[in-house]
Amino acid sequence: MSDLSKLILDKIRDVPDYPQPGVLFKDITPLLADPGAFAAVIDELAGLHRVDKIVGIEARGFILAAPVACKAGVGFVPVRKKGKLPSETLEASYDLEYGSATIEVHRDAFLPGERVLIVDDVLATGGTACATVELVRRAGAEVVAVAVLMELAFLKGRERLDDVTLHSLVIV
């Protein structure tokens, strides 16, 4: 295990039965509250690839993606829930355990061929990440990779991203 992985795992708090009974929630707020640990994560993510834009997935993905973009010296693009962006958008829907959800990105968020790193806090089932990859590609950009702080391996989200490079700082 790398020093960074150990640091991350030491700063993630397990919260049983949240948001519902039987779920063990992985709380990243202790990591975010530690300036050294947070900076180490941002530095690692910012150094993964040379890209033109960093995409952050609503909402916790914004917490990581915006400082990664700043550190990398590139633009930040938010992918938001349907109806939250003010200009013309592209949208993609994906299935949830009970129902579906739709996310959007501004139609003009990317120049053709721009290289993009998608950043989120957790990869679970992969539905949101897969829909975000679709949106970025439909907008004319190239997805270089998806990077997450933590991958929940037992939910097999990696399998849905088989055509994309995936970086997980920790896998639980």
Instruction: List the catalytic residues.
Output: 60, 97
Helix (H/G/I), strand (E/B), else coil: 148: strand
Classify the phi-psi angles of 12: left when phi > 0, otherwise alpha if psi is within -120 to 50, otherwise beta. beta
From CA 77, how far away is CA 52, in angstroms rounded? 11
User: Which residue type is seen at 91?
Assistant: E
Residue 118 tokens read as: 């998608």
CB hemisphere CA count around 63 (13 angstroms): 14
From CA 12, how far away is CA 23, in angstroms rounded? 15
Q: Which residues contact 26 (CB under 8 A, 6 or more apart)?
A: 12, 13, 14, 15, 122, 150, 152, 172
| Distance spanning both ends of the chain, measured CA to CA | 12
